[in-house]
């Protein structure tokens, strides 16, 4: 499968997820359209704007279900529920961190104010619960739907725990990489694990399949988190006070960072020996994730190949993944 082909296949699935989300956020009453408009704006689904975010988590849910059971359209409500749950936490996260921009656009709170943004986040959480109820009309056994609802609730609590730790870190000077990983496992890892495990829950009653796909999601989430932002954390921990001050200054401008800042940051990271260490960590998590995935869904066909490409592209792999990855001891 060529690069253009798998990208087009992923985009087609993203479009179906976005359509499901739009249908959940459509309100005919004129007075309420701005309420849902805030949610659509945050998601990058407002009229005339490009989509925001990569939809990694709902894609993970959709593709895992498709690899195990086919019929991806049946699980669209679950994929939408996961994306809405994720984004409700992001709206609140932006308020708590006072971030003025996300995906190079003003955040909801900076456009409509904090009270409306809090309410929009709450509304998005409630709509995510309504999305779960749509599964009742997709032919899933009630017990599987209850398992899925229970998992998403537990995941929401874990993400909130992670946010508590993240906020508390801002006033602490003893935050190590290990403490950071514990926080990141809740904020990022929990949603990735739930995305894969929830698809397995809806596709199968096999406890082993559910457990292994949860582990796949956890490993994928850790690889993604490391690729996304752990680089800076390890650099700060290993740097001297003088170098740490330089990094503080280089990271200070609002994203995207100027090209000269990026070049200087990379040079510092190379001097500290952080990049090879991090690349080994990412490669280890990615390798374990794909090994688990292929062990569970070896007959998954094209959806399995798309999962390979999704994991590789989201974690910075330079080459296309092998059809049957191996795991070293």
The helix (H) or strand (E) run that includes residue 101 is strand 101-102
Note the pLDDT tens digit of each residue in 304-329. 999 999 999 988 885 454 443 433 32
Q: Which range (175-189, 205-219, 241-255) has the least confidence?
A: 175-189
**pLDDT cut 90: percent of the chain above it:** 60
User: Whose CA is closest to 277, among 218, 231, 219, 224?
Assistant: 231
CATH superfamily of 3-228+289-314: Farnesyl Diphosphate Synthase (1.10.600.10)
| pLDDT for 316 | 82
Pick 117 or 241 by higher pLDDT. 117
| pLDDT for 185 | 73
Pick 240 or 89 by higher pLDDT. 89
| Mean pLDDT, residues 149-175 taken together | 85
| pLDDT for 149 | 97
**pLDDT cut 70: percent of the chain above it:** 85
Rounded distance between C-alpha atoms, residue 262 and residue 232, angstroms? 12
Confidence of residue 302 (pLDDT cuts 50, 70, 90): very high
Query: Mean pLDDT over all residues of the chain?
Result: 86
The first and second tokens of residue 90, run together, are 């992001």
Asked if residues 220 and 292 have their Cβ atoms less than 8 Å apart, the reply is: no
Cα–Cα separations (whole angstroms), residue 55 to 14, 178, 226, 265? 7, 28, 18, 28
| Mean pLDDT, residues 291-305 taken together | 92
Confidence of residue 107 (pLDDT cuts 50, 70, 90): very high
- Residue found by looking up tokens 């690729």 in the block: 227
Confidence of residue 160 (pLDDT cuts 50, 70, 90): very high
201-225 CB burial, b ≥16 within 10 A, e <16: bbbbeeeebbebbbbbbbbbbbbbb
Q: Which range (44-53, 150-159, 211-220, 227-236) has the least confidence?
A: 227-236
| Mean pLDDT, residues 152-160 taken together | 94
Asked if residues 73 and 205 have their Cβ atoms less than 8 Å apart, the reply is: no
| pLDDT for 329 | 26
| Mean pLDDT, residues 277-292 taken together | 90
| pLDDT for 51 | 57
Rounded distance between C-alpha atoms, residue 81 and residue 124, angstroms? 9
Q: Helix, strand or coil for residue 102? A: strand
The reported pTM is 0.84
Q: Which range (40-49, 84-93, 279-288) has the least confidence?
A: 40-49
| pLDDT for 188 | 79
Note the pLDDT tens digit of each residue in 5-42. 888 999 999 999 999 999 999 988 999 999 999 999 99
Helices (H) and strands (E) in the chain, counts: 15, 2
Asked if residues 155 and 85 have their Cβ atoms less than 8 Å apart, the reply is: yes
Note the pLDDT tens digit of each residue in 55-87. 999 999 999 999 999 999 999 999 999 999 999
Residue 96 has pLDDT above 60, yes or no: yes
| Mean pLDDT, residues 114-121 taken together | 98
Residue 29's Cβ-side half-sphere holds a number of Cα atoms within 13 Å equal to 4
Confidence of residue 303 (pLDDT cuts 50, 70, 90): very high
Cα–Cα separations (whole angstroms), residue 230 to 87, 124, 255? 21, 28, 16
| pLDDT for 128 | 98
| Mean pLDDT, residues 169-186 taken together | 68
Residue 255 has pLDDT above 80, yes or no: no
Q: What is the phi/psi pair of residue 206, to 5°?
A: -75, 115
């Amino acid at each position: 499968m060529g690069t253009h082909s798998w990208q087009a296949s992923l985009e087609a699935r993203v479009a179906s997820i976005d359509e499901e989300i739009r249908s959940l956020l459509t309100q005919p009453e004129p007075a309420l359209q701005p309420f849902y408009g805030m949610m659509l704006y945050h998601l990058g689904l407002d009229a005339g704007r490009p989509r925001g975010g990569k939809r990694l988590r709902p894609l993970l849910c959709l593709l895992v279900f498709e690899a195990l059971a086919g019929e991806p359209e049946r699980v669209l409500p679950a994929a939408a529920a996961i994306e809405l749950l994720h984004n409700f936490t992001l709206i609140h996260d932006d308020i708590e961190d006072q971030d003025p921009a996300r995906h190079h656009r003003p955040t909801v709170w900076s456009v409509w104010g904090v009270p409306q943004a809090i309410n929009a986040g709450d509304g998005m959480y409630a709509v995510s619960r309504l999305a779960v109820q749509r599964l009742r009309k997709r032919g899933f056994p009630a017990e599987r739907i209850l398992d899925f609802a229970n998992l998403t609730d537990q995941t929401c609590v874990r993400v909130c725990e992670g946010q508590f730790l993240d906020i508390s870190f801002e006033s602490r000077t003893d935050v190590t990489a290990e403490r950071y990983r514990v926080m990141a496992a809740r904020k990022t890892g929990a949603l990735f694990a739930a995305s894969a495990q929830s698809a397995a829950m809806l596709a199968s009653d096999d406890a082993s399949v559910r457990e292994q796909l949860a582990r796949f999601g956890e490993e994928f989430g850790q690889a993604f988190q490391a690729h996304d932002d752990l680089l800076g954390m390890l650099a700060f921990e290993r740097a001297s006070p003088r170098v740490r001050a330089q990094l503080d200054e280089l990271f200070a401008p609002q994203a995207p960072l100027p090209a000269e800042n990026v070049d200087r940051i990379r040079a510092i990271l190379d001097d500290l020996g952080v990049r090879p260490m991090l690349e080994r960590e990412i490669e280890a998590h990615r390798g374990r994730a794909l090994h688990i995935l292929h062990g569970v869904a070896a007959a998954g066909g094209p959806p399995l190949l798309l999962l390979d490409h999704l994991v590789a592209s989201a974690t910075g792999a330079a080459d296309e993944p092998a059809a049957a990855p191996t795991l070293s001891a």
